[in-house]
Amino acid sequence: MDPAIRISPESVAPADEALARQDASLIDVAGLEFHYGKIKALDGVTMKIPEKQVTALIGPSGCGKSTLLRCFNRMNDLIENAHLTGGRVKIHGVDIYGSDVDVMELRKRVGMVFQKTNPFPNSVYENITFGLQLQGVKDKTKLDEVVERSLRAAALWGEVKDRLHESGLSLSGGQQQRLCIARAIAVEPEIILMDEPCSALDPVATARVEELIHQLKKKYTIVIVTHNMQQAARCSDRTAFLYLGKLIEYADTRTMFIKPSDSQTEAYVSGRFG
Amino acid sequence: MKRFFDTELETFRSNLVLMGEIAVRQVRQAIEAMVNADLSLAEQVAAADDELDQLEIKIDEEAIRYMSLRSPVATELRLVIVGMKASHDLERVGDEATNIVRRVARLSSEPPLKSYEDLPRMAAMAVEMLRDALDCFLRVDAEKALAVCQRDKDVDEINRALYQELTGYMIENPKTTNRALELMFISKSVERIADHASNIAEEMIYLANGEDVRHTEATRNPDAS
């Protein structure tokens, strides 16, 4: 791959490198506008997401938070009639919407976990190795290592180490979600995007995933969309509140839940609207 | 959007306001009982302390219930936290009023040591601080609350001056020692009431803008704020 389009620290432009060092932000969003056909879903969103922290995106349904999340790995490209119509998203200073960016490489660096658990209808082992095999990795020892490392990182190894060749679909909902996280980790991303990862899980499974998020942020930058205010408060370091496509307020989570600046944020986090 | 449990917070607020009104009344009546050597009023003050104690327990129960079941955040969270803390201060104000009337009962058996001027003046200042701090709760006024905190030092000064004066009485005439000591303790109680008013005012600043001003220069020095 052309080194110029790699999403890696080496490709950071000098000016942005200084900026990135200054505030350790990994994802730099500026004036982002996004349309589904004629409907504006994002309206001038500007924010910097710091690395190795958890950033929560909150807001009522239709506010644009999932659209924003999907902009970070260009998953919106897969939606017909959906377009970035203004602004930019930079990761490590590289505009990820640049014409020379390898989208597959981008999605390898920016993994994603969805609301609905979606393991492949294959074995636990194959779920983890799928991405690597796509990349042409065939070395069994290497694949075994990745499976164990990923499942351990996803706090699932102890529960499935004797069931690696059973179907991923045979696991419980909470285990399936952690399997999906392990699958995302297997290709060694820098960023993990989570779109309501616990909305279909019971409280115990939710607590496990939240604990996992807390552990994973030591190594990864995590951006999570959640409708659960308490989850945002528990899990995230920074919280962004979006409403009608606009970023209303973005601050450290403590501030957002103790003394938000904007009355709309206050009303939303207090459950008074949305 | 109104929520079905919003009335719970209204009740919480009302109970705190009620507690404040009772505490202010207790202090006023305690000083009145001292000035007029009115033992009947003194007994009334002591008996009413239980009202404040019960309200403090009720406010704590309501706060714990609200935090457990309603998961308050932002202004609501600050209100519940501040409400609990302010209710403890108000309960302590009630205790100080009770301490004053106990000493009034002891003083009543002897002729007055001096005319009561400084103590009622000091008590009026403390009561005014308390009233203003409670007013800041109703109006959510951080600026006024900060001014309340800054007035605490005026009460401290009168307390110090009274201490010096009463010590002088004791040195000059040891027979005045009991009365002088009782008055010193009353003065100290009034000074503590002003401290509680100042604490409540600090809590109201936190309620208004989330800023914790405790133990900062801003609460002592108007020029620092």
Per-residue pLDDT of A70-122, as tens digits, reads: 999 999 998 999 999 999 999 999 999 999 999 999 999 999 999 888 999 99
pLDDT over threshold 80, residue A137: yes
Q: Collect all residues of chain A within an 8 Å Cβ-Cβ radius of residue B72.
A: 270
Chain A to chain B Cβ contacts (< 8 Å): 32
pLDDT tens, position by position, B105-119 = 899 888 888 888 999
Residues 6+ apart with CB under 8 A from B80: B12, B63, B66, B67, B72
Kindly report which listed range (A11-25, A187-201, B153-167) carries the lowest average pLDDT score: A11-25
Strand order in the sheet with A221-225: A110-113, A191-195, A221-225, A54-58, A238-243, A246-252
Task: Provide the token pair at A17.
Answer: 């490198």
Closest Cβ–Cβ partner in A259, A269, A273 for B1: A273
pLDDT at B1: 74
CA distances to A56, A70, A238, A253, B206 from B76, rounded to whole Å, are: 21, 33, 21, 16, 12
Cβ neighbours around A138 below 10 Å, total: 9
Closest CA to A193 of A271, A274, A270, A108: A108
Query: Which of residues 222 through 241 in chain A touch B, CB cutoff 8 A?
Result: 229-230, 233
pLDDT at B36: 93
Read off the DSSP letter of residue A75.
G
pLDDT over threshold 90, residue B192: yes
- Using pLDDT thresholds of 50, 70 and 90, give the confidence band for residue B127: very high
Closest Cβ–Cβ partner in B76, B209, B210 for A270: B76
Mean pLDDT of chain A: 89
pLDDT at A15: 44
- Using pLDDT thresholds of 50, 70 and 90, give the confidence band for residue A186: very high
pLDDT over threshold 90, residue B225: no
B17/chain A closest Cα distance in angstroms = 23
pLDDT tens, position by position, B48-90 = 999 999 999 999 999 999 999 999 999 999 999 999 999 999 9
pLDDT at A135: 84
Closest CA to A105 of A221, A2, A223, A6: A6
Residues of chain B above pLDDT 70, percent: 99
Task: Provide the token pair at A273.
Answer: 């609207």
- Using pLDDT thresholds of 50, 70 and 90, give the confidence band for residue A13: very low
DSSP string covering B84-107: HHHHHHHHHHHHHHHHHHHHHHHH
Residue pair A27/A88 in contact by the 8 Å Cβ criterion: no
What 3-state class would DSSP assign to A250? strand
pLDDT at A2: 38
ipTM of the complex: 0.77
pLDDT at B80: 97
Segment A244-266 shows an average pLDDT of 96
A225/chain B closest Cα distance in angstroms = 19
Q: Is A248 on the interface with B (CB under 8 A)?
A: no
Residues of B with CB under 8 A from a CB of A: 1, 3, 71-78, 209-210
Given 1.20.58.220, 1.20.120.1810, 3.90.1150.10, 3.90.1010.10, which CATH number is that of B6-224?
1.20.58.220
Inter-chain residue contact A229 with B210, CB threshold 8 Å: no
Q: Collect all residues of chain B within an 8 Å Cβ-Cβ radius of residue A269.
A: 73-74
- What is the chain B residue with the closest CA to A255? B74
pLDDT over threshold 60, residue A263: yes
Closest Cβ–Cβ partner in B1, B3, B210 for A259: B210
pLDDT over threshold 60, residue A21: no
CA distances to A53, A127, A201, B6, B98 from A215, rounded to whole Å, are: 11, 22, 19, 37, 54
The Cα–Cα gap between B225 and B223 comes to 6
Task: Provide the token pair at B154.
Answer: 């005026």
Q: Which long-range contacts (CB under 8 A, 24 or more apart) does B65-73 make?
A: B65/B8, B66/B8, B66/B9, B66/B12, B69/B5, B70/B5, B70/B8, B71/A229, B71/A230, B72/A270, B73/A229, B73/A233, B73/A257, B73/A258, B73/A269, B73/A270
The Cα–Cα gap between B216 and B220 comes to 7
CATH of domain A3-269: 3.40.50.300
- Using pLDDT thresholds of 50, 70 and 90, give the confidence band for residue A3: very low
CA distances to A43, B24, B130, B134 from B16, rounded to whole Å, are: 44, 12, 13, 9
The Cα–Cα gap between B17 and B35 comes to 27
pLDDT tens, position by position, A28-43 = 999 999 999 999 999 9
Kindly report which listed range (A8-12, A198-202, B150-154, B201-205) carries the lowest average pLDDT score: A8-12
DSSP string covering A153-175: HTT-HHHHTT-TTSBGGGS-HHH
pLDDT at A161: 95
